[in-house]
Every structure is written in structure tokens, then in C-alpha cells.
Amino acid sequence: MKLIILGFSSAYPTLVSSTTSQLLEYNGKSFLIDCGEGTQIQLRKNKIKFNSIEDVFISHLHGDHYFGLPGLILTFNLLGREKPLNIYGPKGIKNIIVSLIKAGKTWTNYKLNFIELCSIKPEIILNKNNLIITTIPLSHGIYANGFLFRKKTTSHKLIMKKLVDEGIDKTQFSGIKIGKDGITNKGKIINNLELVEPLNQDVTYAFCSDTLFNRKIIEQIKGCDLLYHESTFLKKHENLAKKTYHSTAEQAAIIAKESNVKKLILGHFSSRYKELSLFLKEAKKKFNNVELVSEGKVFHL
Ligand SMILES: [Zn+2]
């Protein structure tokens, strides 16, 4: 999996960054996570094929997380899109988007599938090609979800040299990949574990924006390979963070530490701060493997 940061500014776009949007690429498909204003420009800058996007995930209905979506939908239409677009977001998103499109007396020639979310518990919302996507309920004053992307490793990699040396016919390969023993051309049974590489563990990415400091998410994101957590404020504005249902860099780092994630990335910085390195400095006091996001930055998983 590959994560591309398209935008990370909170509240409104600046000359440094667009508002929140990220793209997760896996197996030739692109999953768009939030769609702040100007996301389509960021997609072009990062040379993303529009047609690779089949699923869009909107965390919540604050404008800085989805005001780019109506424009993107209509651009897709103008470019002749035919395949459906699946939009996962809070209940009410369908009415908003459809009303905007209808107000212009226009429509799309491709199908829009809205999957409206209202559960306050984690729920699996997509399961395809060994990728499972689950909501992470957040605490943000209005209904909000993060998203947990889990790439399942279900098929073992074969040790080809061993298979050839033992004289195991290729008709058995698909069975061995999923755990069956091999039988040599002399009828000898070879244990599956001798024929395959050890199974890699699942790969996980957790996207958590926007949210109040909320330890309830820890259980769900435990051991993640990569965690994006909002850090809108610095410690000196902790009260403001609480009042506006946001987090500080230090709080994001505490979540990362207590969840034992492998790496933390921070974004959604308030534009009141000109020196972003302070976010890194504050977070590092609690959790060392942390980076700030920037436009176009790529993370491999
Ligand atoms: Zn928000």
C-alpha cells in the first residue's frame, strides 16, 4: 500500500497546503480519504489517474473535509466517467451532494452510490481484494469517523527452488499457497511449512481526523503500521483543542505510544502557527517515530 498526502491544512486552504485529503493506493485502485477544497488539483499535481478512484471516504461534514467532492464528481462527469463512484460518509451526505448537483440542473452520466454511516461502533464498510476497511468512531462534536485500512495476508509465497527440487507438480501450487501439504512425484508428502515463506502479518493504516483526545480508539488501532492523527494545536492551546474537539501534537503522540503503533504522522495544523517544527518537537517528547505530513509526501506500507 502507498499513502499520498494531498492536503493537510485545517479549516481553510493556505499557500502551504490544501485542506484534508489523502489517497491510499493498493492493487491498482485508489481510495480517496476526505476531499477538501481543491482536491482535484492535488490529484492532478500527483499524477493520479482519476479512473483509479472507485471509493471515497468522508470522515465528517465539516467543509474542510468534503467541499472538494461536488467539484470532483462533476469533473469526473465532464471527462466521460462511466464507472460508478462509491461514497462513504455520514448520514446526510447524499442529500447535500445531490442537492448541489441538481441546483445546477445537471446530473452525472455515471452512478453515484452513497453508503451513509450512522453507527457509533466500529463497522466494516468495505471488504474487497483482501482489503478490509472499518470505521473508527471519533469524538468531534458532530458525527465523525476515522478509517482503518487492513490489508489481509492470506496467501503464502512459494519457495520455488524447494518445490522444483522435491519434484512437486505445479498443479498443486494454488493449494500449497493456502496451506496444503505437497506430494512429490514419488508420492512423498512434504509439510506445507517447508514449501512456503512465513506468512507476513497484516498491514494496517489508521486515519484519525478530526478528534478530541480520545483513548477509546486505542484498542482498535493497537499495533498499526502507520497512524495519521490530527494535531491541530500545540500544548499552549490545549484548552482550545478541548473546546473545539481537536487534539494537540502531544495528545496525538500519547495515543500513538499507548497504541504501540509503528509510526505516527501528524497533520491538520491550525494556520495560526507559522513554525510547524514545534509540532514535531512536542510530539517527540512522547513518541519518537513521528513525522509531519506535507503536500505530496508519500508513505509506503
Ligand atoms: Zn472537523
pLDDT tens readout for residues 47-79: 999 999 999 999 999 999 999 999 999 999 999
Q: Mean pLDDT across the stretch 143-160? A: 89
Ligand 1 centroid to 139 CA: how many Å?
10
Q: Mean pLDDT across the stretch 268-296? A: 96
Ligand 1 centroid to 200 CA: how many Å?
36
Ligand 1 centroid to 244 CA: how many Å?
9
Query: Which residue is associated with the grid cell 451526505?
Result: 93
Contact, 63 vs 38, CB < 8 A? Answer: no
Ligand 1 centroid to 88 CA: how many Å?
17
* Residues annotated catalytic, as ranges: 64
Burial category of 252 from C-beta neighbours within 10 Å (exposed 0-12, middle 13-18, buried 19 and up): buried
pLDDT at 153: 76
Position 32 confidence tier, pLDDT thresholds 50, 70, 90: very high
Ligand 1 centroid to 121 CA: how many Å?
19
pLDDT tens readout for residues 228-255: 999 999 999 999 999 999 999 999 999 9
